[in-house]
């Protein structure tokens, strides 16, 4: 996979010309056993990817926990055997990746649980507020936590945002131009900030309408209006903007189809783990 090759490139960037400390202290023919242990409760993500990278460096890996699986503090995630110099050179990069992805998966699971209490059918999705170069891994972590990846890249679907509308000047025209340009397989989503534009976007044929930075009361008003106009069943309604663990239940309770939030990636804390030689 290209993404794995990109990560291996990052590993060599971290090592530089050599792992100076390890080369000075550890003989080149020493083999060791180690395990990665979780220090917090959470959801694992990145185990398959990390094990694949370790195996590319001829290390043997035995997974104790699978991606998407719940873990408790003290649980062993994986055991590793092989050359000591190779493992110590990889240690920090693979731990950083595993901890970051597991932190995102854990936060996604926690927020989804809060949303689902009041709206069991709601979809919780990430946004493109990801770390450049890491979007594939961070989005995959969202999926491990039970969320939806939304767009990985700009070519996944059409998302007409406020700046597009400012330049085009009209919601209906923007949807028509997008429909003409994009393949029939691509969904068209429109971001709106007012009730008027929400109605216009649905009437223009948008597949998804994103209500951006609206309060729960404003969102309910939009849904009620669309229902009264016979338009609600013609579109998926997504909400986004300022959604956190503290208020996600309020947004979910409105009855929307999708909640998307950058909080899953820009505010996730890494799940603490360590590599210990045994």
Which are the catalytic amino acids?
A: 129
CA gap 248, 97 in Å, rounded: 27
Element of type H or E holding 46: none
Q: CA nearest 251: which of 230, 231, 275, 222?
A: 222
Best CA proximity match to 43, nearest among 275, 269, 278, 276: 269
- Tokens linked to 199: 């109605």
The C-alpha R_g of the chain, in whole angstroms, comes to 23
Strands annotated E in 64-194: 70-71, 76-83, 123-125, 158-160, 188-192
């Amino acid at each position: 996979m290209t993404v794995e090759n990109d990560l291996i490139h990052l590993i060599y960037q971290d090592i530089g010309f050599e792992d100076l400390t390890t080369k000075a202290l550890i003989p080149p023919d020493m083999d060791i056993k180690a395990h990665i242990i979780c220090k917090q409760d959470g959801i694992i993500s990145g185990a398959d990817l990390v094990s694949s990278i370790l195996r590319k460096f001829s290390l043997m890996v035995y997974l104790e926990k699978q991606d998407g699986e719940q873990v408790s503090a003290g649980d062993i995630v994986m055991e590793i055997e092989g050359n000591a110099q190779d493992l110590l050179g990889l240690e920090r990069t693979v731990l950083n990746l595993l901890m970051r992805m597991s932190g995102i998966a854990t936060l996604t699971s926690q927020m989804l649980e809060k949303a689902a209490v009041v709206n069991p059918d709601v979809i919780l999705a990430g946004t493109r507020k990801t770390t450049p170069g890491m979007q594939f891994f961070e989005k995959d972590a969202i999926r491990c936590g039970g969320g939806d990846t939304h767009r990985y890249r700009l070519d996944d679907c059409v998302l007409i945002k406020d700046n597009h509308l400012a330049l085009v000047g009209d919601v209906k025209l923007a949807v028509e131009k997008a429909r003409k340009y994009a393949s029939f397989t691509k969904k068209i989503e429109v971001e709106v900030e007012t009730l008027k534009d929400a109605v216009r976007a649905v009437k223009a044929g948008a597949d998804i309408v994103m209500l951006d930075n609206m309060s729960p009361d404003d969102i309910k008003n939009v849904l009620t209006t669309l229902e009264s106009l016979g338009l609600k069943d013609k579109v998926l309604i997504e909400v986004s903007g300022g959604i956190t663990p503290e208020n996600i239940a309020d947004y979910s309770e409105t009855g929307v189809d999708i909640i998307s939030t950058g909080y899953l990636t820009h505010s996730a804390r890494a799940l603490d783990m360590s590599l210990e030689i045994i």
